[in-house]
Chain A
Amino acid sequence: MTDTLPEAEIGRARRRKEDGRLITGRTLWTDNIQLPGMLYIAFLRSPMAHARITRVDTSAAKTQPGVVAVFSGQDLADEQGSLPCAWPVTEDIVIPDHPPMAVGTVRYVGEAVACVVATDRYKAADALDAIEIDYEPLPAVLDMNEALAEGATPVHEGGNRSFTWQFGTGDVDAAFRDAPVVIERTYVQQRLIPSAMEPRAVVAQTDGDTYTVHSATQIPHVLRVMLAATTGIPEHKLRVVAPDVGGGFGSKLQVTAEEVLALLITKRLGRPVKWTESRSEGNLTVHHGRDQIQRISLAASADGVLRGVKVDLLADMGAYLMLVTPGIPLLGAFMYTGVYKMDAYDFTCTGVFTTKMPTDAYRGAGRPEATYAIERAMDELAHEIGVDPLEIRRRNWIKHEEFPYATAGGLTYDSGNYEAATDRALALFGYDKLRAEQSDRRDRNDSVQLGIGVSTYTEMCGLAPSRVLGSLRYGAGGWEHATVRMLPTGKVEVVTGTSPHGQGHETAWSQIVADALGVPFEDVAVLHGDTASAPRGMDTYGSRSLVVGGIAVLQACEKVKENARQVAAHLLECSPDDLEFTGGAFRVRGTGAAKTIQEVALATFAAHNLPDGFEPQLDAGSTFDPEAFSFPHGTHLCAIEVDTETGESKIRSYVAVDDIGNVVNPLIVEGQVHGGIAQGIAQALYEEAVYDTDGNLLTTTMADYLIPSAADLPDFTTDRTVTPATSNPLGVKGVGEAGTIASTPAVVNAIVDALSPYGIRDVAMPCTPERVWRAIQGGTS
């Protein structure tokens, strides 16, 4: 035994344990699963945005080669139930029935109307062509304002308003009354398609009594509960596995029609079934993100000090409410005050039904929208009173000495240092030099104008305190569970309720355990994503895994250590209080006597010599329910060149300085920031799900829905400042969404800044070359 302590694992740029299988193609994606006798499901989907189904004839399809069964919605009407919405945000919310396959009426293009079950995927696809369905068209409902107007075609009985949710603090009328400066703006958060690289897939099987579902899901635990509730299969007879999952970004935080139907079909036919989505099917039917119209008003003093903020939001629910559809705008409701101080805040949100694919969580979920609106509006305020965008922020943000700070948004930010992050970002960016170049280009009337965009964002992470979720009427809690098992040989198994799909939990949790138990990083294995091996969990979304699940791992380790301390004390014939735990060993203070945790594990396994009454095991579980959210923040700066002749915007440099508290693995953190920034830029410049006037999605393929490639994006300069979170013992804040939340307004602020000499104050997202060009021509963008 050596007395030199090993290097702390937390904070180390460990290469990921997950990588080996991913870079060699030994991954277990759901579509890789092939089982004896397996059948393949293919769905026939509605070509109409809104129509009555007047006739369904599946008889010809049933006679096609290889076809085992064909089902229409009507065929399964008695057992398919209704897809769940777990977030009834108000008491009087309208939650329409949502059959997994349409019965009677279709309400968006892509809605499943029938399915074929066949012996291979080619034959299943062929038989779809033989299903005959007649539709009687109904008017498509596409525009939220029109949907709410008198006499609008109702998407569901009960009208197109799902709910109106309000929140406020302070006297907002007083704040706006006689305010010297009032800024009112309307921003449109375009509809986005999450586009995880792995399309959805599900495999369901049964032995006649129990059921196993493999799904490309972020939420195996939630899915198990919901599938049990929807199908009536008892929870203890149902196992859900999320094998390797190829990205989610919120899109796999869902209980989908295809999952429910695969389970029901395997139940009916007694054979394993698989469904794998094609990308064009996925663009139609993976829940979409964003799609809000935001009306934001700021009241400020003559020198730009904020008095109050009002937000009036229309949120497009699409045709149905899915798992957390109505809750998404609420996740932003508390963030429209951003990093700023003010006296009063008022927020109203109306959820609206349209005949489009339902919306739901997409990376950031509510917070990118909120951050965009306030960060864009702050630039407008700066412009209005004639100061630099950074200056308006300095005049209004919470100063580092003012934390903890209770915001007008109703939250208490525990820690932060906006000045430090901004100073660091400015130094990396070369702000003054770029401003000088901008001024020079303006003077020269250069055809390429330079714009500088600022985004000083914060967000709330660590979803979430269960009590808070309860007060918002969410159907579940926000705790997370972990179990830590000491194996006889001293190796450690961690069972986590988080469900990683790219985040690297196997690596990061190993680092936490290595430090807590003093075992080598390599000696830790992490089990996840299978309700049989990891029965308790709330899964992975909302930048919660480390902040909640990582803490559960840490706490479970502490319990294991305390159990081990009892055994070590017994073996060393001393009091547990005489032991200190360093370097993976319990040492008797003042003597050289020690027992390593591995020795203790083996002794516990043998159980020959344990304290009286001691159960022969060290394992422990812990469930962590945070008392508060965490609040990452940071400053992102974007320099963009706008070609005024073509309207093209090209990012020249991008600097992100994020404060996400303490860091477990800087490599993983940097990767999360990079990817987040890319997705935020994609919203600003490239991506939009477009429906035509009949409600047909025009962006059904990756040839039409433009996801940026390496060739379209610049390198990002990233750095960090650290103010630890006070709401958890690791001082961590969460990083999964920060980049996405911060970057979109940084980019659009830069474009508007570049175009400011033309009198342009807004360009709708995505800021396509055509829109920018039209704005310059003086037309509407």
Chain B
Amino acid sequence: MSRITVTVDGTKYEEEVEPRLLLVHFLRDRLGRTGTPIGCDTSNCGACTVLMDGRSVKSCSVLAVQADGADILTIEGLAGSGGWHPMQRAFHEEHALQCGYCTPGMIMASIDLVQDNPDPSEEEIRSGLEGNLCRCTGYCNIVRAVRKGAQELGAAQ
């Protein structure tokens, strides 16, 4: 067992974990942070995407011990006292989700994308989200939502 300290959505946790424990299972099973779902075994689908020290990672492909000392932001930590994050709002406004299973990862990946590129083109959004699969939407409205979210984030700054 290894002792790790991880901050998740603003709360610091000190836990004993098996080295093989996946970060996503740590979040879900240990901390009860079930907002981050699991969609595959091979880091292809991106459903489990969270921000680790500010950058998107697939939490199914990170060991909890590798996150020792890290600051994790999940979909559950995104909304603040002022309500939904602009990207959450944009996904709602643009009908960018149906079943919603890919949505947490898609939103976290989109926020990461916009950090690097505050005004992405459609093509840049599409390639920037290549690691996040959605089976419901055909992506059209996701692309629109990311543009809208980017604009609102830009306007907010």
A and B directly contacting (CB within 8 A): yes
Residue pair B129, A711 in contact (C-beta under 8 Å): yes
B12 at the interface (CB under 8 A from A): no
A32 proximity list for chain B (CB < 8 A): 28, 34
Cross-chain contact B40 with A702 (CB below 8 angstroms): yes
Contact at B140–A715, with CB atoms within 8 Å? yes
Number of residues from A at the complex interface, CB < 8 A: 59
Contact A716–B98 (Cβ < 8 Å): no
Query: Which of A328-336, A574-582, A665-673 forms part of the interface with chain B?
Result: A665-673
Q: A246-B100, A501-B99, A711-B130 are in contact. Are A675 and B92 (CB under 8 A)?
A: no
A502 surroundings in chain B (CB, below 8 A): 98-100, 136
A32 to B36, CA, bound (A): 10
Q: Given A122-B18, A502-B100, is A247 in contact with B139 using a C-beta cutoff of 8 Å?
A: no
- B118 contacts the other chain (CB 8 A): no
Most buried by B among A31, A247, A249: A247
A26's nearest neighbour on chain B, judged by CB, is B35
The complex places the Cα of A279 from the Cα of B126 at a distance, in Å, of 24
Asked whether A648 is an interface residue with its Cβ less than 8 Å from the other chain, the reply is: no
22 A-B residue pairs with CB within 8 Å: A16-B95, A18-B100, A19-B91, A24-B78, A25-B74, A27-B37, A195-B135, A197-B134, A198-B37, A198-B101, A247-B101, A279-B39, A279-B45, A502-B98, A502-B100, A671-B136, A674-B141, A677-B138, A702-B45, A709-B132, A710-B132, A715-B143
The answer to the question of B42 belonging to the interface, with a C-beta cut-off of 8 Å to chain A, is yes
Interface residues as binary, B127-152 with A (CB distance below 8 Å gives 1, 0 otherwise): 10111111111111111000000000
**CB neighbours of A18 from chain B (8 A):** 100
How far, in whole Å, are A29 and B21 apart by their CA atoms in the complex?
21
Residues of chain B within 8 A (CB-CB) of A668 are 95
* Cβ contacts under 8 Å, B133 to chain A: 197, 702, 707, 709
Known: A15-B95, A23-B92, A122-B20. Contact between A707 and B42, CB under 8 A? Answer: no
* B38 at interface by CB-CB < 8 Å: yes
Q: Are A23 and B84 in contact (CB-based, < 8 A)?
A: yes
| B116 in the interface (beta carbon within 8 A) | no
Instruction: Point out the residues of chain B lying under 8 angstroms from A701, CB to CB.
Output: 40-42, 44
* Docked-complex contact A247 and B92, CB < 8 angstroms: no
State in angstroms the CA–CA spacing of A701 and B95 once bound together: 29
Chain B residues bordering chain A, tally (CB within 8 A): 59
Q: Which residue of B lies closest to A246 (CB)?
A: B101
A684 to chain B, nearest CB (A): 14
Tell me, rounded to whole Å, the shortest Cβ–Cβ distance linking B51 to chain A. 13
With an 8 A cutoff between CB atoms, is A280 at the interface? Answer: yes
Given contacts A197-B47, A246-B101, A702-B45, whether A31 and B38 have CB atoms under 8 Å apart is yes
Contact of A671 among B42, B103, B126, B141 (CB under 8 A): B141
Is the C-beta of A22 less than 8 angstroms from some C-beta in chain B? Answer: yes
Partner of B140, one of A27, A247, A674, A712: A674
Per the 8 Å Cβ criterion, residues 27-72 of B in contact with A are: 28-29, 32-42, 44-45, 47
Closest 8 CB pairs of A and B: A25-B35, A246-B101, A22-B100, A502-B99, A674-B138, A678-B138, A702-B44, A502-B98
- A198-B99, A667-B95, A668-B95 known; A703 vs B44 contact (CB < 8 Å): yes
Asked if B107 CB lies within 8 Å of chain A CBs, one says yes
Q: Are A23 and B107 in contact (CB under 8 A)?
A: yes
Inter-chain contact B100/A244, CB cutoff 8 Å:
yes
Given B41, B91, B135, which contacts A280 in the complex, CB threshold below 8 Å?
B41
Beyond known contacts A199-B38, A279-B45: 8 more, CB 8 A cutoff: A19-B100, A22-B100, A25-B75, A196-B101, A198-B37, A671-B98, A674-B139, A710-B126
Taking the closest CB of chain A, its distance from the CB of B151, in whole angstroms, is 18
Q: Using Cβ atoms and an 8 Å threshold, which residues of chain A touch B47? A: 197
Q: Is A649 an interface residue (CB 8 A)?
A: no
B97 within 8 A of A: yes
Q: Which residues of B are found within 8 Å of A670, using beta-carbon distances?
A: 95, 141
Contact B99 A247 (CB under 8 A): yes
A626 to B108 CA separation, bound complex (whole angstroms): 44
A679 contacts partner chain B, Cβ-Cβ < 8 Å:
yes
Are B76 and A25 touching (Cβ within 8 A)? yes
Q: Answer whether residue A96 sits at the interface, using C-beta atoms and an 8 A cutoff.
A: no
